[in-house]
Amino acid sequence: MKLLVTGATGKLGSKVVNELLKTVPAEQLAVSVRTPAKAEWISALGVEVRHGDFDQPESLAAAFAGIDRLLIISADGDNETRIRQHADAVAQAERAGVKFIAYTSIGNAQASSNFLAPTHKATEDKIKESGIPYSFLRNNWYLENESSSIQGVLAGAPWVTSAGIGKVGWALQQDYAEAAAAVLSGTGHENTIYELSGPLLTTDEIAAELGAVIGKEVAVQHVDDAAYIEIMKGAGVPEFLLPMLVNIQKDIREGTLEIESNDFEKLLGRPTTSIREGLEQIVKESTN
């Protein structure tokens, strides 16, 4: 049985690799990465490193050869690019005879109005069409995505948001990585969908948790989208990132990440890491 993780030098992928190595012999694990030179730390662990570039489908054909179980970690980029890349990856997995695909999707992918959902809906559809047994890991939102807001608070700024009272199922990347590793290396996950969501919180509630961690009240500045963009510009956020950031706020405000589920506990055998503990980790990393 040979397992492969794509995007293994990324933040999530590297965590998945380390988690898998707790239970899977290194010789049964392979990774595909765009730049193998950046994966020397992985090969040093005895894991086979293969070149696999989502923009070069022929490289994926070689990367997926002889692989039984595949974890496709969604690529970065705009929806159109990612839909094409993921479709090519699924096609190459089918040609290579891969027997199982786990894919990192987004919450409620098939019905969601989230601006990121079109990529994930299209990819889920492609995987189903391939006939390969699958598991869709519908990840909600990484707590680490709030690192810039947390750093702003630590520097004395308020937590700025246009998300209103929208709720999010934040969880640490490590929890998502452990869930992915459990599915890829485990049994009984064929043709399953896991809605991976932590406890639902508003921005005010997560800011209150941060306040408890740092020992002082965190001010939350509620603004509209236009003001949010201007504040982010003033904070030095690059122009090309602004549409994405405001779309995230809009999608939270409209409830696209307000998904209740206990699927995390099913896969981890425990609750997700508490938000307070997660915030403690992020604050510690931000101040080191």
pLDDT in tens, 44-62: 999 999 999 999 999 999 9
- pLDDT by residue (tens digit) across 133-183? 999 999 999 999 999 999 999 999 999 999 999 999 999 999 999 999 999
Task: Report the chain's mean pLDDT, rounded to a whole number.
Answer: 97
Q: Which residues pair with 141 in a beta bridge?
A: 170
Domain match, 146 and 281 both: yes
Domain that holds residue 251: 140-171+197-260+272-288
Q: Does 114 share its domain with 155?
A: no
pLDDT recorded at residue 288: 79
Q: Which of 95, 123, 139 is the last residue of a domain?
A: 139
8-56 pLDDT, tens per residue?
A: 999 999 999 999 999 999 999 999 999 999 999 999 999 999 999 999 9
Which pLDDT score, from 0 to 100, does residue 287 have? Answer: 84
CATH number reported for the structural domain that contains residue 130 in this entry: 3.40.50.720
Q: Assess if residue 183 is contained within a domain.
A: no
Mean pLDDT of 281-285: 95
* Same domain, yes or no: 250 and 204: yes
CATH code where residue 242 lies: 3.90.25.10
Same domain, 160 and 104: no
192-196 β-sheet, strand order: 48-51, 29-33, 3-6, 69-72, 100-106, 134-139, 192-196
Do 25 and 135 reside in the same domain of the chain? yes
- Are both 237 and 205 inside the same structural domain? yes
161/280 same-domain check: yes
pTM: 0.97
What's the total number of domains in the chain? 2
Task: Specify the pLDDT at position 253.
Answer: 98
Domain end marker among 117, 139, 161? 139
Residue 105 lies in a domain: yes
pLDDT tens profile 223-241: 999 999 999 999 999 999 9
Question: What span, in angstroms and rounded, lies between the C-alpha atoms of 115 and 223?
Answer: 20
Asked which of 89, 118, 139 is the last residue of a domain, the reply is: 139
- Residue 177 in any domain: the answer is no
Has residue 182 been placed in a domain? no
41 and 100 within one domain: yes
Is residue 147 domain-shared with residue 278, that is, in the same domain? yes
Residue whose token pair is 């570039």: 53
How far the first Cα of the chain sits from its last, in Å, is 41
Q: Is the domain of 123 the same as that of 8?
A: yes
Both 67 and 90 in a single domain? yes
Does any domain span residue 109? yes
Q: Do both 121 and 149 map to the same domain?
A: no
Identify the burial level of 77 via C-beta atoms within 10 angstroms of its C-beta, where 0-12 means exposed, 13-18 middle and 19 or more buried.
Answer: middle
Q: What is the pLDDT of residues 228-280, one digit of tens each?
A: 999 999 999 999 999 999 999 999 999 999 999 999 999 999 999 999 999 99
